[in-house]
Structure 1
């Protein structure tokens, strides 16, 4: 009975974390470039149960028993979000055209991201192309982080009257003003979310341009939305709630059985 309480509790904690993750996804459904998190549930190592004693005494194997479930990790889903035409010159969308394919799964691997530098000087990455111009003419994201060019330097523009080519080259007043840097992350599991649409890594990511099997386009006047599916997320939330409720009921049953064992069975001679 005690093991049952722990198993039910582990299930409730796992589903609560799933609910928190799904709620965060739903709250960011209108956040430009947001990539939804996906949760992975795993079981704790199983225990081998054996029967000891008996007549004659022997060690008989009963079977395996699970000790509960836990949320192992949350992984961002980097599938392309829906493009929305805004008509603003400072809005640019990063469109993934091609990525390397895993020969075992047949799925594309990796992600493409813009390079930005925070006010503290840290290099970060983002999918959000909802840019703007600062008072001093720097191209920045919605958080005030500076958008970097391929040389790792800030992009400065005289006004919002500029053009962005498909490869990210910016032209203002007929003069080239730099090229928007795009990096390629081969292993997206190494990208750590920091909030506000930013990701960090332990080492700087390589440039995406010129890499084999990597192709992209930058579309000016468009904005990439989040890749959150509201209907599927609501369905997953209802499922998580029902599993949480089932574990809660099992805990009540185990608690009631334990109470009877203590108050009634224990008093019988």
Structure 2
């Protein structure tokens, strides 16, 4: 009975973690470039309770969370008509560098702006990196009359005097195991010691297995509300069942105490 109590407690804790992850997925259903998380369970240690015929008898000691992984499936695209809104169709991440800390981050969110110095940045001031590395900087942005980002990441600028500049090209990075990327909030990731990159430096979109870019579009969250609500119901029932195990075990202990009296 004591084992069943602790097994029930482990079930409550694990299902609470699963509910927390589901809640976070649902809350980010409209977050640009968000990738949903999934909780995986594993059974805990087993205690041998004897021998029944040919097969040994074991009693399990509950459940634990084995991992919380990220599902990097493609999200739907939303048309915005804004040239500096860029979506990735396929594999890859935008490479962003924090000019203050020099830290490098990766993101699927393509909401970009041009700052006062002409740098292409995201909403937090991180600078977008170009092919083979380096900040993307636009010269004389106040003189640009037309800006177009092509599928291969090339930024085509047409100035008021009629000249054209195509020297900047947005680069992408890809990883052999993107599930090992660490989520740090603000729609960005950073590498860990277990992350293996396919390239040493950002590469051109559309090459080496990388996706292409779509200017005037944004990649929406890949959260499937129907699946999340189904998982919520299943998680709730699992939580209730484990709570019932604790209640029933407590009643059995109470009956044992009543026998003692």
In the superposition, the TM-score normalised over structure 2's length comes to 0.87
- The reply on whether 1:168 has 2:159 as its aligned counterpart is no
| Structure 2 Cα separation of the partners of residues 193 and 266 of structure 1 | 55
8 A contact 2:45–2:61 mirrored in 1: yes
| Structure 2 Cα separation of the partners of residues 208 and 79 of structure 1 | 21
**1:189-200 matches, cutoff 5 A:** 189-200=179-190
Structure 1 counterpart of 2:111, from 130, 147, 168: 130
| Structure 2 Cα separation of the partners of residues 29 and 121 of structure 1 | 31
- The reply on whether 1:40 has 2:40 as its aligned counterpart is yes
Structure 2 counterpart of 1:216, from 192, 211, 215: 211
**Corresponding residue of 2:95:** 115
CA RMSD of aligned residues (A): 2.3
**Corresponding residue of 1:187:** 177
**Corresponding residue of 1:6:** 6
- Per-residue deviation, 1:209: 4.1
- Per-residue deviation, 1:256: 1.6
| Structure 2 Cα separation of the partners of residues 131 and 211 of structure 1 | 20
| Structure 2 Cα separation of the partners of residues 153 and 204 of structure 1 | 21
**Corresponding residue of 1:266:** 260
8 A contact 2:205–2:212 mirrored in 1: no
- Per-residue deviation, 1:92: 0.4
**Corresponding residue of 2:239:** 244
| Structure 1 Cα separation of the partners of residues 206 and 150 of structure 2 | 19
**Corresponding residue of 2:161:** none
| Structure 1 Cα separation of the partners of residues 34 and 203 of structure 2 | 20
| Structure 2 Cα separation of the partners of residues 180 and 204 of structure 1 | 21
Q: Secondary structure at the match of 1:17?
A: helix
Name the count of aligned residue pairs.
246
| Structure 1 Cα separation of the partners of residues 165 and 13 of structure 2 | 57
Q: Secondary structure at the match of 1:163?
A: strand
Q: Closer, same or farther in 2 for the Cα pair 1:259/1:208, shift >3 Å? A: farther
Q: Secondary structure at the match of 2:211?
A: strand
Residue ranges of structure 1 left out of the alignment (5+ in a row):
52-58, 97-110
Residue ranges of structure 2 left out of the alignment (5+ in a row):
159-163
1:152-176 deviations in Å (ceiling 9; x for gaps): 2221221574111111011112101
Q: Closer, same or farther in 2 for the Cα pair 1:252/1:208, shift >3 Å? A: farther
| Structure 1 Cα separation of the partners of residues 103 and 88 of structure 2 | 22
- The reply on whether 1:231 has 2:212 as its aligned counterpart is no
Q: Secondary structure at the match of 2:105?
A: strand
**Corresponding residue of 1:76:** 70
Q: Secondary structure at the match of 1:185?
A: coil
- Per-residue deviation, 1:8: 0.6
- The reply on whether 1:85 has 2:72 as its aligned counterpart is no
**Corresponding residue of 1:146:** 127
**For structure 1, which segment, 23-32 or 135-144, has the greater mean C-alpha deviation from structure 2 after superposition?**
135-144
**For structure 1, which segment, 223-232 or 198-207, has the greater mean C-alpha deviation from structure 2 after superposition?**
198-207
8 A contact 1:30–1:226 mirrored in 2: yes
8 A contact 1:116–1:147 mirrored in 2: yes
Q: Closer, same or farther in 2 for the Cα pair 1:18/1:257, shift >3 Å? A: same
